[in-house]
Amino acid sequence: MKIMTALIVVSMLSGCTTLASVDAAIQKSAPAACDAAKTLYTGFSSSGIGSDRTKATVNAAYTAIANLCVNPSTITATQLATVAAQTVVIVREIRKAKSSG
């Protein structure tokens, strides 16, 4: 999972050569990352699938994302990495719920 998270962050920042371009890429990518996480969470929440534990894990992951995504245009690299990692947690839990349901 750490490798997947790293790949997501690297792909978001590909082509950046200076700190200014990294900041610009982060601020450009953050809204899309936040929107993707919200879409996954909303879809899962309305699906009715998953155990109570899975639902709690997804809720906790999305809470962490939602707090960071309040103002995505000011998000930092570390925060974007956290959004990516928590999104991976949501995807993993959705897959687990679908395979057991």
pLDDT tens for 42-90 read 999 999 999 999 999 999 999 999 999 998 888 888 888 899 999 999 9
Query: Mean pLDDT throughout 3-18?
Result: 58
Domain that holds residue 52: 2-100
**Position 18 pLDDT exceeds 70:** no
Amino acid 51: pLDDT: 94
- Rounded to the nearest integer, the mean pLDDT of the chain is 84
Domain count, the chain: 1
Give pLDDT, residue 6: 58
The pLDDT score that the predictor gives to residue 24 is 79
pLDDT exceeds 60 at position 15: no
Long-range contacts of 36-45 (CB under 8 A, 24+ apart): 36/87, 37/62, 37/65, 37/69, 37/83, 37/86, 37/87, 37/90, 38/62, 38/65, 38/66, 38/69, 40/87, 40/90, 40/91, 40/94, 41/65, 41/90, 44/90, 44/93, 44/94, 44/97
